[in-house]
Amino acid sequence: MTGYTWIVTRDTVLGDSSDAVGRIGPSGAKERARFDTVIIQGAHFRLLNESGETQFLGYILGEYAGNEPLDDYGRSHGCVAIEYELEGEWLPPRAFKTRQAPRL
């Protein structure tokens, strides 16, 4: 079992009818957190393409290092970086983990 679940909630290039919307990972995981739980409790991420533009938005929940949505899904769909939102600011994984408030 993996220790995290991520969900793509928006495709900024192809729109809401894209097959990326609702994509859940990691692929092949036998157990995952519920869709609504990931969105409500998870960390908001965005995947950036080569131009530095946001291509996908989503949420991740569980024990993760930070690059999982990028490695599991984004790279194979033209993305090269991931950032996490914290208090309205987009941060790379390391800065996000360092500044993230402890969860109770």
Range of the domain at 55: 4-99
Tell whether 8 is covered by a domain.
yes
pLDDT of 94 higher than 80: yes
Do 13 and 57 form a contact (C-beta atoms < 8 A)?
no
Torsion angles phi and psi, residue 25, rounded to 5: -145, 175
Rounded CA gap, 22 and 7, in Å?
A: 6
11-15, 34-38, 77-81, 87-91: lowest mean pLDDT where? 11-15
Rounded CA gap, 16 and 27, in Å?
A: 21
Amino acid code (one letter) for 13: V
Tell whether 22 is covered by a domain.
yes
pTM of the entire predicted model:
0.89
> What is the mean pLDDT of the segment spanning 29-38?
88
Tell whether 82 is covered by a domain.
yes
Tell whether 75 is covered by a domain.
yes
Tally of domains within the chain: 1
pLDDT of 42 higher than 90: yes
Tell whether 104 is covered by a domain.
no
Tell whether 92 is covered by a domain.
yes
Tell whether 65 is covered by a domain.
yes
Using 50, 70 and 90 to split pLDDT, how confident is the model at 29? confident
Tell whether 50 is covered by a domain.
yes
pLDDT of 18 higher than 70: yes
